[in-house]
Amino acid sequence: MSQVVILPLLLPLLAAIALLLTRRRVSLMVRRRLSLAAVVLELATVLWLFWVVTGEGIQVYQVGDWPAPYGISLVADRLSVWMLLITALLACGALFYAVQGTDSGSRHFHPLFQLQIFGLNGAFLTGDVFNLFVFFEVLLLASYGLLLHGGGPARVRAGLHFVVLNLAGSTLFLFAVGTLYGIHGTLNMADLAVKVAQTAPEDVGIVRAAGLLLFTVFALKAALVPLYLWLPAAYAATSAPVAALFAIMTKVGAYAILRVETLIFGDAAGPLAHLIEPVLLPLALLTIVVAVLGVLAARGLRRQTAYLVVLSIGTLLTAFALGSRQGIAAGLYYLPHSTFAAAALFLLADIIARGRGDLGDRLDPGPAVPAAALVGALFFVLAVLIAGLPPLSGFLGKWMLLQAALETPGMPWIYAVVLTAGLLSIVALARSGSLLFYRATGAQAEAAALQAAPGALAGAAVAGVQGGPSGGGGADGGHEATGADWPPLLSVLGLAGLCLALVTAAGPISDFTASTAEALLQPERYIQAVLGGGAGS
């Protein structure tokens, strides 16, 4: 069954090649259908791999049948398939929104979209540090093209900053990889885990420097303070479905930090054990502080959402920084919530901007958007999700984090920063909702304000918890939906529904994340599966 490991790479790569070769020969409608079929097939493949890994253990595919550590190893463990599943679900929602019209104007949107998925899946599956660099470069290439889709000076400026900073990170990555290879003669992660633990005393300082360089690169990808400055402008300037897909991009950096810290610099690494532990928690908490200030100061909804992405990465890495089974499990539960909620808000911000004419997503009073009550109810539900209010998934993720922090020395700081940031996020989002919906101008706005009264929004939120955001129409349901552009809204509803699924299935999901965290803290299973050539439990 190990051959299934390579399918999440082959499918998007072949789809990208097919879409590129046919870009001049088939219509846009055909390309859309091909791309949608590809992401649905990729989701089915990931679900199959998820089932295999949870049932049979770690799956290893040695490319070309070269044995590790000499060949290229693709490794699917619980963490890998969790990230693959989140990516596949996110890609379905983002692409369905894109084919409503955002993808027009360029023959390269769909090939680049598939290449982005290829790079993401490769980063999660590779068992080799050098190939992690390769897939990072694929991500950079595809994301740069997607970021610029549609053109405009704001996107070009943001794209320039994005690519320059990430190329600098790639240079540091090569320095770190070259240093590790020069000392240990291998870049296979499992083999590195064994050899780093046997590092000669005179080489400890060099390997520590290489490890810290790797952390710097991953921190840049994750948008950790002070390396976050590229993100708000890039995510706010690009098109909505691209920004939604980019919601998983920072999680690649967080994944790499977790993988390297637990596997290569874990408990068995001797003097190099827990290399980044002293700096990760302070930086994560500082990221939360800086991000929430950006959320408060943002003058546009898309930029505010971009800062909420930075805030989520600070919260996620705070959980990972605890280093415990409970902390890592809390982070792995919070990770899909923050990804889906931010992606949904990016898409909703685009719907709001298109409905407000020249004002766009600026947080100023203006004309009411079409179907303001429905859109306002969706905004309310997403605000509750992202701010972490009960009873939705954001609250559960933060509650698990705070529970895990109870016995740690940094508990007072974690509680103070996380809870204060949550309160300030509520204030900022409430202000945004008031400016966009309650203080809309004109006769149409007055009617919309009556429809979107607090009771109606609360009812929509309750209905969303019970059966999805669209379930709370009641007697006014038909009137609220008047003028609604349903296909784009379905993408928002789908992503919000995934967050609600995290609540309804919180028990089995939290059990899965706990067992994943336990496996990460026992890296010998991973090492045996890769170097032993078999499947680990």
> Which residues of the chain carry a pLDDT beneath 70?
1, 440-484, 533-537
Does 348 map to a domain? yes
Is the residue at 535 inside a domain? no
Q: Could you give the C-alpha distances from 109 to 95, 197, 246, 295, in angstroms and in order?
A: 10, 45, 14, 30
Tokens 């190099």 sit at which residue?
A: 272
What is the structure's pLDDT at 431? Answer: 93
User: Residue 223 to residues 13, 259, 519: CA-CA distances in angstroms?
Assistant: 27, 17, 27
C-alpha pair distances (Å), 356 with each of 372, 440, 452: 11, 10, 17
Q: Would you say residue 364 lies in a domain? A: yes
pLDDT at 461: 37
Instruction: Give, to the nearest 10 degrees, the angle between helix 249-263 and helix 301-321.
Output: 10
Distance of CA 424 to the CA centre of its chain: 22
The domain tally of the chain equals 1
CA distances from 172 to 177, 357, 530 (A): 9, 44, 27
| CA distances, 384 to each of 199, 201, 341, 345, 457 (Å) | 49, 52, 10, 11, 11
In this structure, is residue 426 part of a structural domain?
A: yes
Write the burial class of residue 172 (CB in 10 Å: 0-12 exposed, 13-18 middle, 19+ buried): middle
Alpha carbon distance 475, 460 (integer Å): 12
**Which pTM does this prediction carry?**
0.89
Residue 240, in any domain of the structure:
no
Asked if 304 and 295 count as a contact pair (C-beta separation under 8 A), the reply is yes
Query: What was the pLDDT predicted at 485?
Result: 78
pLDDT at position 1: 61
DSSP secondary structure, 472-534, as one string? --GGGHHHHTTT--HHHHHHHHHHHHHHHHHHHTHHHHHHHHHHHHHHHT-THHHHHHHHSSS
Structural domain span for residue 476: 278-504
Residue by residue, DSSP assigns 419-438 as HHHHHHHHHHHHHHHIIIII
Residue 457 lies in a domain: yes
Total Cβ atoms within 10 A of residue 342: 28
Residues in the chain: 537
- Which amino acid makes up residue 396? L
- Cβ-based neighbours of 296, under 8 Å, separated by 6 or more: 424, 427, 428
228 domain-assigned: no
- As beta bridge partners, residue 59 has 76
Provide the 8-state DSSP code for 101: I
User: Residue 445 half-sphere exposure, CB side, CA atoms within 13 Å?
Assistant: 15
**Domain annotation covers residue 230:** no
The β-bridge relationship of strands 59-63 and 72-76 is: antiparallel
